[in-house]
Structure 1
Amino acid sequence: MTYTSKNRWIDYIVLGFSVFLVFCLIFEQYIELPSLVSWVGRWHPLVLHFPIVLLLIAIFLGLSGQKVPDLLLTAGVISALVTAVSGFFLGNGSPAKGDLLFWHQWFGAGVALLAALWYGLSQMQLDQKIYTKGVQVALVVLVVVTGHYGGMVTHGEEFLALPTERRQEKIPIDPIIYKDIVTRILDGKCVSCHNPNKQKGELVMTDLAALLKGGESGNTLVPGEPEQSELIKRLHLPKEDEGYMPPEGKTPLNEVEIAILERWIALGASDTLRFGQLEKAEPLVGYIKGLMEPDPMEKWTKLPEVADTTLQNLSSDYLTIKRIASNSDALSISAYLSPNYDSKNLTDLARVADNIVELDLSGLPIGQEEMAFVGSCSSLEWLELDKTGITDTDVGKLIELRNLRLLKVYGTAISDQSVSIFQDFPNLKSLYIWETDISEKALDALREAKPGLLIDNGMGREINAFFAATDSIKTR
């Protein structure tokens, strides 16, 4: 075995880079790089493609029994060492390393050092030895593994995962605002660029402590002051501004998501605040209710088609008919007391009864005919019968409304007899019953039978384990 290198200076470069790389890996925790050297590390993503291509070509030639050109191997080895060293510089500039970055760095260093070993074996004329072939095979494995970890660092841990139908976890009944709502938004739109493995702008957004710590731009999150929070400022910049977040190519936050972040910060950016602790008038309540039923349109796709001309013919000055959305056949109807009230104005709606999802008849002198019509609205989810003349018998006519979620019957003559009817509504989430003849004893029985039901009896808000269950569908 003889060492036959003709370019000793190249040997010294390979040896020097190898020793320096090993030194960096061993003493990393003690090394603090000057800013200019850290800047050199930012060239790592640019130069890393050269050794991958060159080494793979050389490995193909070597494993196929062909002579590997010295220039090709030399260029591949040196570029691999330069890439590993620049990667170390880049990683050293990160305040904290995640597991992905840690393993990417070590596997990358393994590629460079194994390539340097191959170079040494080649200079000793040992190209065709079995252990040299082993080095080449090991290099292929390391290149793949290093690239895999690099891809996850850059694009997220699921970058190379097989495509599957992703179902977002359902929001809990009484969600913690930060844990169940805010992190859902940040994980979907921000964390891919701001995590321990990829700290763009030196900012990590995977936990509240990191958010409060901020990044290189300053106060990412200022509790109680959304207008002073860099996070909110960036979201409101014009899209053409280079500081706008997220950057081009990433899915931007929608208006509701931005509003949720703003209100959460305005309320103190707490990680313990629950939905049930919010005041009714708090705008955040409405935003979260919308998230708790992310795609209400889907359940209305099977409703009968109804023409715009039909709605125009049925509407009047005292009867407002609207589609829940422009492309939906789900209807929201509000009736108002006219000087010459006639039940026919309501009963004529029977032709669209299956399409009515929201119905407001509050304050009307409704009787048996109207209640029979209401009971036929099989798709009804929101019903307001407050300040009407309904009785317990009339409430009984609603028993077939299996989709009913909200019922307002306050200011009526109903009594304890109606409680058993309320218990039989499988999807009822909100019940408004102040100024009725229902006793407190009957209410206690109702609470026990339906612990998830919000009962508003005028004595203040009642949460009953989860106020969040009142995910209203009413659009105003």
Structure 2
Amino acid sequence: MVSWLGHWHPLVLHFPIVLLLLALFLGLTGRRVPPPLLVVAVLSALVTAITGFFLGKETVVRGSLLVWHQWLGAAVAFVSVVWYALSNMGLGRGIFAKVWQVVLLGLIALTGHYGGMLTHGEDFLALPIDPKQREIPDNPVIYGDVVARILNDKCISCHNPNKQKGELLMTDRDALLKGGESGTAIVPGKPGESEMVKRLHLPMDNDGHMPPEGKTPLTDTEIGILERWIALGASDTLRLSDLKEPEPLIGLVKSLMVPDPLDKWAEFPKVADTTLLRLSSDYLTINRMAANAEALSVDVYLPPEYDPQPVVNLKRVAENIVELDLSGIPIGSEEIDFIATCTHLEWLELDKTPIGDDAIEKLADLKQLGLLKVYQTSIGDKSLSVFKRLPNLKKLYLWDTDVTVGALEKFKGEAPHMLVEDGIDPEIEAFFIAGDTTVIE
């Protein structure tokens, strides 16, 4: 019965806050506080504080946040009663009453702050984290860099030292192995027998579903990661590089390592649609990468008479261009200098253009570049050193160039993370050229 009464606490707590703040506004501005308003505010504050203590009975292990929240709530109720007593004694507008009103205002703020941290986590009012600090490293520890992050985002707010719902802590691996009132949360090697996984798969309307209704549920990818981590033994030292194909956990983790494009592009300068229309032509199209996104994709086509100026004019939106296709365009130094200013470029096509090593050297600062097409150009071995300095370059297309076979093989060995497309295998190419129909084994 006591616990049931405690469940009313979240429902009634906002009522006294609004009434007390209204009464405080009137009192601190020198106006008369209507007695009925003060009576209802004080009574509702008392009810809220009492139900808060009842609700706390459900938590066997009470952390410091819960203790502070409860006693600060009690202090709010006590100071409200003192204010009411002073008002009945005719001292409601005196300096002493105003001191109590200021104290009450501070207590309401602190109580709400601790309540917010209990409900949403201790970092509830923390300053936003730099997105780069949230990035998963290239070779993450599966538990520390991935699993713990998922649990921290979706589970820790209800399973921390200050709020151990079901007597379960989820702040570290040992706590997961220890479990709570329903038993161990994880059984290494057996995700199907792990209570945590069972709760994740319950219907959303089931009282045992985790996270509970009103909380952000885990995605299918996040659930898959937890299941595979447990299936592989729930190690706290396993790294991504320790896994071998075709282990599903590799793809699941890598999918989390790819940042949301909209987040990456959120800080781009604003570009008006009218500006894009002015820069576009029949031979130069500009498209937004997504609806209302400021990231741009540019495609240039060869006109009957080529003029570099339309390309050079794109400098005014250079910071917004993430994809640029200049395939087959007779570009020169002006265009290369422009490309070098597109610091957010992720995709660049320069195939079938008259570029060489000097042009590639000018593009060494395109640190976001992930795909580069330079096949059927005059680039040579010198350009390979530039490609190695591009940290995000994952796909490189460079057949029919002046790059030597030896230098290319050495480059592939030094950049195993990069997919290098260097054309059709010579034996297969000779086969098709000769028109031979013999099956090559």
Quick check: 1:172 aligned with 2:164? no
2:70 is aligned with 1:102: no
Note the C-alpha offset of 1:65. 4.7
Aligned residue in 2 for 1:277: 242
Counterpart CA distance in 2 for 1:84 and 1:37 is 13
How far 1:431 sits from its partner (Å)? 8.0
* Alignment of structure 1 residues 116-195 onto 2, 5 Å: 116-160=81-125, 166=131, 169-195=134-160
The residue type paired with residue 79 of structure 2 is L
Shift of residue 422, structure 1, vs aligned partner: 5.4
Contact kept? 2:63, 2:162, Cα under 8 Å: yes
8 Å contact from structure 1 (residues 219, 228) kept in 2: no
Deviations 1:202-246 (A, max 9, x none): 443222233233344444322211111222223333445554443
Relative distance call for 1:179 and 1:400 in structure 2 (3 A) is closer
Inter-partner Cα distance in structure 1 for 2:34 and 2:323: 70
Whether 1:225 and 2:190 are equivalent positions in the alignment is: yes
Aligned residues: 331
Alignment of 1:47 onto 2:12 = yes
Partner Cα distance (1:275, 1:67) in 2: 64
Other-structure match for 2:199: 234
Q: Show the 5 A alignment for 1:423-438.
A: 428-430=415-417
Distance 1:238 1:42, change over 3 A: closer
| Partner AA of 2:72 in structure 1 | F
CA deviation vs aligned residue, 1:254-312 (integer Å, no higher than 9, x gap): 222221111111112122222233334432223223333335797997666599xxxxx
The CA deviation string for residues 149-191 of structure 1, in whole angstroms up to 9 with x for no partner, is 2223223345456778755522234322111010111222333
- Determine which structure has greater relative contact order: mean sequence separation of CA pairs < 8 Å that are 6+ residues apart, divided by chain length: 1
Larger Rg over CA atoms: 1
Secondary structure (helix, strand or coil) at the match of 2:134 reads coil
Q: Residues of 2 paired with 1:98 and 1:175: CA distance?
A: 31
CA–CA separation in structure 2 for the residues paired with 1:382 and 1:218: 53
Checking the alignment, whether the CA contact within 8 Å between 2:62 and 2:164 is kept in structure 1 is: no
Give the letter aligned to residue 195 of structure 2: E
Q: Find the residue that maps to 1:223 and give its secondary structure.
A: coil
How has the CA–CA distance of structure 1 residues 255 and 62 changed in structure 2, closer, same or farther, with 3 Å as cutoff?
A: closer
Question: What secondary structure is seen at the aligned counterpart in 2 of 1:121?
Answer: helix
What pairs up with 1:85-96 in 2 under 5 angstroms?
A: 85-96=50-61
1:66 paired to 2:32: yes
2: distance between equivalents of 1:120 and 1:356? 69
Superposition deviation, residue 406 in structure 1: 7.6
Structure 1 residue runs without a partner (length 5+): 1-35, 308-327, 332-348, 358-369, 384-393, 408-412, 433-476
Contact 1:61 1:68 in 2 (8 A): no
Change (3 A) 1:219 1:350: farther
Instruction: Report SS of the residue matched to 1:221.
Output: coil
Contact map agreement 1:43 1:86 (CA 8 A) in 2: yes
**2:142–2:239: 8 Å Cα contact kept in structure 1?**
yes
Contact 2:158 2:165 in 1 (8 A): yes
Is residue 2:230 matched to residue 1:258? no
| Deviation (angstroms), 1:41 | 2.2
Match in the other structure for 2:79 = 114
Residues 79 and 431 (structure 1), Cα distance of their counterparts in 2 relative to 1, 3 Å cut: closer
Distance 1:172 1:356, change over 3 A: closer
Q: Quick one: distance in 2 between partners of 1:167 and 1:198?
A: 29
- Secondary structure of the equivalent of 2:169? coil
Gaps in structure 2 of 5+ consecutive residues: 266-288, 290-294, 302-321, 330-344, 364-368, 374-379, 397-403, 420-441
Cα gap change, 1:251 to 1:91, in 2 (>3 Å): closer
CA RMSD of the aligned region, Å?
4.8
Assess, with a 3 A threshold, how the Cα gap between structure 1 residues 254 and 382 changes in structure 2: closer, same or farther. farther
State the AA in 1 paired with 2:11: L
Task: Give the residue type in structure 2 aligned to 1:152.
Answer: M
CA contact (8 A) 2:61 2:167 kept: no
* Aligned residues of 1:214 and 1:220 also touching (Cα < 8 A): yes
Q: Cα–Cα, structure 1 residues 406 and 139, in superposed 2: closer, same or farther, change >3 Å? A: same
Q: Equivalent of 1:291, from 256, 263, 281?
A: 256
Change beyond 3 A, Cα 1:305–1:382 = closer
Deviations 1:100-128 (A, max 9, x none): 32322222121112123234434544334
Alpha-carbon deviation of 1:201?
4.3
Mapped partners of 2:346, 2:87: distance in 1: 81
Residues in 2 aligned to 1:223 and 1:110: alpha-carbon distance in whole angstroms: 46
Distance 1:329 1:117, change over 3 A: closer
Distance across 1 between alignment mates of 2:300 and 2:200: 40
TM-score (norm 1): 0.55
SS in 1 for 2:8: helix
- Work out whether residues 114 and 135 of structure 1, in 8 Å CA contact, stay in contact via their aligned partners in 2: yes
CA contact (8 A) 1:217 1:230 kept: yes
Sort the Cα spacing of 1:142 and 1:166 in 2 relative to 1 into closer, same or farther, 3 A: farther
Which residue is 2:47 aligned to? 82
Change (3 A) 1:146 1:285: same
Identity %: 52
